[in-house]
């Protein structure tokens, strides 16, 4: 691997930086989503909605204390601001949660585009080197020409490899984010319906 790296020429250094960046982001995002999944508590969400149906806000406050479930944070935001604008409060909190989920995804997206381009740049440099060697040494020294061709192929393969290996985690993290957004919308809508129904019942009783 070290031999291939040096044979790939100067473009291999930015490609190495790209690969390190991709690996760092993938590990960070994996740890983030593992933490999110570990903190999920679907039963608590259902309990909160049931308590909201009963209008028992004090019990809701005690039950959600210490919870790190992102959906709970969205619902609590709406509950705390129910007298003003529950929907806008949940939208603001949801936007913050989604922003956290999308953190560093732009880096992965950029690497998927940049790595192959750097590989192509290395290809061009390698071919130029080959033609220069061919012009100065002629066909009497074919190894001088093949060295440039090898450089071109190595950088192309490396750039494509980085991009291909980045696509899989990128799509996986995007699917996790989309699922999380759907869950936020589902439970936020449920809370709004519950609160509206509670208000209607209280008016009917009054």
Per-residue pLDDT band at 139 (split at 50, 70, 90) = low
* pLDDT, position 54: 84
Greater confidence (132 vs 206) lies with 132
Query: pLDDT tens digits, residue range 79-114?
Result: 888 888 888 999 999 999 999 999 999 999 999 999
Average pLDDT of the residues in 157-175: 95
b/e code 164-197 from CB counts within 10 Å (16+ = b): ebbeebbeebeebbeebeebbeebbebbeebbee
Of 25-29, 48-52, 108-112, 137-141, least confident by mean pLDDT is 137-141
Enumerate the domain spans of the chain: 10-114+166-201
């Amino acid at each position: 691997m070290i031999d291939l790296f040096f044979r790939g020429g100067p473009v291999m250094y930015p490609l190495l930086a790209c690969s390190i960046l991709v690996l760092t982001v993938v590990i960070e995002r994996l740890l983030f989503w593992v933490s999110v999944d570990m903190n999920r508590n679907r039963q608590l969400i259902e309990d909160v909605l049931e308590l909201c149906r009963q209008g028992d806000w004090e019990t809701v406050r005690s039950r959600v204390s210490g919870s790190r479930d992102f959906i709970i944070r969205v619902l609590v935001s709406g509950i705390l601001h129910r007298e003003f604008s529950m929907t806008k409060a949940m939208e603001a909190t949801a936007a913050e949660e989604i922003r956290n989920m999308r953190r560093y995804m732009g880096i992965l997206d950029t690497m998927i585009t940049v790595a192959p381009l750097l590989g192509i740049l290395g290809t061009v440099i390698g071919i130029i080197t080959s033609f220069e060697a061919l012009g100065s040494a002629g066909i009497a020294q074919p190894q001088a020409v093949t060295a440039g061709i090898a450089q071109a192929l190595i950088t192309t393969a490396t750039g494509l490899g980085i991009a291909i290996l980045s696509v899989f985690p990128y799509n996986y993290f995007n699917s996790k984010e989309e699922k999380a957004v759907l869950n936020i919308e589902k439970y936020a809508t449920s809370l709004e319906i519950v609160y509206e129904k509670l208000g209607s019942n209280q008016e009917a009783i009054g």
